[in-house]
Amino acid sequence: MSNWWRSNQAIGLYLLLIIGALFTYILWQPWAHRVMRDGFLLGMMPMMGVGLMLLCAAAMIMDPLRKEQPENLQDARTSDAWLPIVMLAGIGLCFWAMSRLGFLLASPPFLLAFMLWFGLRPVRLAIILAIVVPVVVFAFFTLLGVRLPQGILAGIF
Amino acid sequence: MQIDAFYDALALVFTFNTLFWLVIGVFLGVGLGAIPGLTASTGIALMLPLSFTLDITGALGLLIGLYKGAVFGGSISAISFATPGAPDSAATVYDGYKLTKQGKGRKAILTALYSSVTADTASDIVVILVAPSIALMALQFGPTERLWLMVVAITLLGTLSGRHLAKGMLSAGIGLFLGTIGADPVSNVARNTFGQSWLRDGIHLVPLVIGIFAMSQMLDQGLELLRKTRGGKKVEQSAKDLFGAKSEGLTFREYLSCWREMGIGIGVGTFVGALPGLGATVASFMSYGIAKQAFPEKKIGEGSIHGIAAAEAGNNATVGPTLVPLLAFGIPGSATAALIGAALILQGITPSPRMFSLHADVIYALFIILILGNLFNLGIGRAFSFLYARLGQVPGEVLVPIIMIMAVIGAFAARGDPADVYMMLGLGFLGFLMRRVGIPEAPLVITFLIAPLLEENLRRALLINRGDWGGALFGSALGIGLAGFAVLVLLITFKMNVGSKLAKIGHADDKKEG
C-alpha cells in the first residue's frame, strides 16, 4: 500500500481530478455552447478530447493493469519532480538572457553551468566547450540564413 | 504514370541543393542514431525548423536522409558497446555485441549496414508500387469514410503504441485537445484559448514536436546524469581496438547467406511499418524472433550475423512503408511520418491522396529520394561507421546541454516568436511527465495533426447530410465497416492485451540476455 501512489490506479485518480477540473472549466465557458452557422457546437471537439482523456483516466483506475507501477516511477524520488523544473527554469532564463544579450553572450554561461552540473570534468574542458560550441552553432545558423538573437552584439554582426 | 511529372521530379532531385541536403541528412542521421538516447524523432524534430529554409526537395532530402541514417545508426552503438542508439536496434545487441567481443565488430557492423540497406530498398520499392494504388482508392472516399479512417488510425495508434491501452488512448485524447486550441478550422472562431490572445493561432507544430520529442528526452537524460544511473553495459574494449585493420570483414558469400533472414525482415518490416502505431522496434524484435525460431541451426543469439541481418532488416524495412498511410490517406502512421508530413505542410503541401495528382512531381521526387537515400546510407555507413562508433562515446554531460540549446534555437527560429520557446519548454515538461508515467508520445503528436482534419470531415459530412448525425456518421457501408473495425480493434486490444504482448516481445529477450 505504501507504494500505491506510484501505481497506475493512483495516476488515473490524479489525472481524473485534473482532467475533471478542465472539463468543468470548458463546460462553464460560453464559447463551448456556441452553435456555429453549420449547426456544429464550437466546444464539441475540445469536449471530445477532454472526454476521451476522462474516459481513459477512469479506465486506468479500473483496468487489469491498475496495480502495476510504471517502470520509470518505481525508483522515483522527490527530486525527480523538481530537478526538471530547475532545468527548464535554467533554459528559460538562458532564452530570456539570449533575447537581451544575444545568443553568443547568453549561451556560454548556460552551457558551462549545465555541463558542470551534469558532472563534466575537467572544468577546463567544460569552459572550452562552452565557448566553442555557441560560436560554431552561431556560425552554422548564420551560414544557413537563420538569424539568432544578436542582442547587444547586433552592431558587430 | 505522369511522365512529365517524373521528369520534373528528376530535375528537382538531381540538383546540388537536394543531393547536398540528402547527404547531410544521412550523415547527421547515422551520427544521431549512433549516439545512445537520440532517436530519429528527436533528430527530425530538431531539424524541422531548418527545413523551412530549404525548398521542398531539399527539406525532404534532409528529413528522409536523417530518418534512414538514424535507423541504421542505432546498430553501431548496439554492436560496439551493447547500448543501442535507439530502441529499434535493441535486438541487434544480442548477436552484435557478442561478435564484437570475439573481435568481429567490423563484420557485425557491415552485416547491419548491408541488411539495412537491402531491406530498406526492397520496402521502398513496395511503397512505390503500392502507395499510388491505395491513394487512387482513397480518392473515392467521402468525408464520412475519411472521418472513420482517421478514427481507425487514432485507435490503432492508441492501442498499439504502448503496452497499456488506456495510456495510449489518453495520449491521443491529449493530442485531440491540444489540436483544438485556437481558431476552429471551418469558421475560424477562437475557442479553448483560456483567455490568452497569443493562443488564438493555436499551438504551433514546431514547439510541440521539439518539446514532446526532444526537450522531454533531454530532461529525462539530464535527470539520469544527475542521478548517475546511466544505462548500458560496461565497455570492455575501445572503438579503436574493435575496428582495427586486422578486424575481420564480411564476404559477399556471407552476405548472401543471410537472404532468408533479410527476407523475413523485409516481409515483417514492410507490413508492420505500414500499420499505424507499431513501428521499427516491434518489427525488429518480431523479425529477430521469427528468424531465431525458424533457423535454430544458425545459432541466432549466440553471436551470429544472421541474427543481426534479421533484426536490422526488420527495423529498416519499416522506414518506407511508414509513409504509406501518410501519402495514401494523409494520415501519418508513426511519429516520424507525422514529422515528415509536418514538413510537407510547412512547405505548403498537405499530404493527402490528392497529392498524387496535384503535386505528382513532389511524390515522384520523394520516391527518388527514398531510393537515393539508401545509396547514400550505404556509402556513408561504409565509410564512416567506424568513426561513428566513437561518437557513441561522447558523454551525455556534453550532449544534453547542447541539445537543450538547439531545442531553444529550433523553437525560436521557426517563427521568431519568444512565446514558442516558452510553449516548447512547457510541452517538454508535459512530455517528461508522460514518459515518467509510461504514456506514449506518438499518439499525441499524430492526433494533434489529425484533429483539424477530423473536425473538417465531420462538419462536411454533417453539412452534406443536412445536420443528420446518423447519415453523417453511418451513411455508407464503408463508413459502417470502418467504424466497426475501430470498435473491434479496441475490444480485441482490451480483451487480449495486444499492446502488452507486443511490448513484451522485446522485454522477454532482454531478461534472457541478462
pLDDT in tens, B323-368: 988 888 888 878 888 888 888 888 888 888 888 888 889 999 999 9
Out of A53, A99, A149, name the one closest to residue B177 (CB): A53
pLDDT digits (tens, 9 = 90+) for B280-338: 888 888 888 889 888 888 888 888 999 999 999 999 999 999 898 888 888 887 888 88
In this predicted structure, the answer to whether residue B390 has a pLDDT above a threshold of 50 is yes
Q: Which residues in chain B have their CB less than 8 angstroms from residue A59's CB? A: 165-166, 169
Q: Which range is least confidently modeled, A147-156, B17-26, B135-144?
A: A147-156
pLDDT of residue A92: 95
Q: Cβ B462–A56 below 8 Å, yes or no?
A: no
Out of A40, A51, A77, name the one closest to residue B459 (CB): A40
Distance from B484 to chain A by nearest Cα, in Å? 18
**Grid cell locating B452:** 483539424
Out of B177, B192, B429, name the one closest to residue A84 (CB): B429
Q: Which regions in chain A score pLDDT beneath 50?
A: none
Q: Which residues in chain B have their CB less than 8 angstroms from residue A77's CB? A: 227
Beta carbons within 10 angstroms of residue B457's beta carbon: 22
Confidence band of B384 (pLDDT split at 50, 70, 90): confident
Question: How much is the mean pLDDT over chain B?
Answer: 85
Confidence band of B427 (pLDDT split at 50, 70, 90): very high
List the Cα angle B2/B7/B10 in 5-degree steps. Answer: 125
List the Cα angle B317/B321/B327 in 5-degree steps. Answer: 160
Distance from B156 to chain A by nearest Cα, in Å? 15
Chain A residue with CA closest to B195: the answer is A29
pLDDT digits (tens, 9 = 90+) for A15-24: 999 999 999 9
In this predicted structure, the answer to whether residue B512 has a pLDDT above a threshold of 50 is no
Confidence band of B234 (pLDDT split at 50, 70, 90): very low
pLDDT of residue B404: 93
Question: CA-to-CA distance for B308 and B265, rounded, in angstroms?
Answer: 10
Residues B217, A57 contacting (CB under 8 angstroms): no
Smallest CA-to-CA distance from B34 within B90, B82, B86 is with B86
Percent of chain B with pLDDT over 90: 37
> Is the interface score ipTM higher than 0.90?
yes
In this predicted structure, the answer to whether residue B513 has a pLDDT above a threshold of 70 is no
Q: Cβ B408–A94 below 8 Å, yes or no?
A: yes
Distance from B48 to chain A by nearest Cα, in Å? 13
Q: Cβ B173–A53 below 8 Å, yes or no?
A: yes
In this predicted structure, the answer to whether residue B96 has a pLDDT above a threshold of 80 is yes
Question: CA-to-CA distance for A74 and A8, rounded, in angstroms?
Answer: 11
pLDDT digits (tens, 9 = 90+) for B449-463: 889 989 999 999 999
Residues B148, B474 contacting (CB under 8 angstroms): no
Q: Structure pTM? A: 0.83
Q: Give the start-to-end residue ranges of the domains of chain B.
A: 3-513
Residues B185, B455 contacting (CB under 8 angstroms): yes
| Residue ranges of A 28-67 with Cβ closer than 8 A to chain B | 31-32, 34, 36-40, 42-43, 45-46, 48-53, 55-57, 59-60, 63-65
Question: CA-to-CA distance for B287 and B310, rounded, in angstroms?
Answer: 6
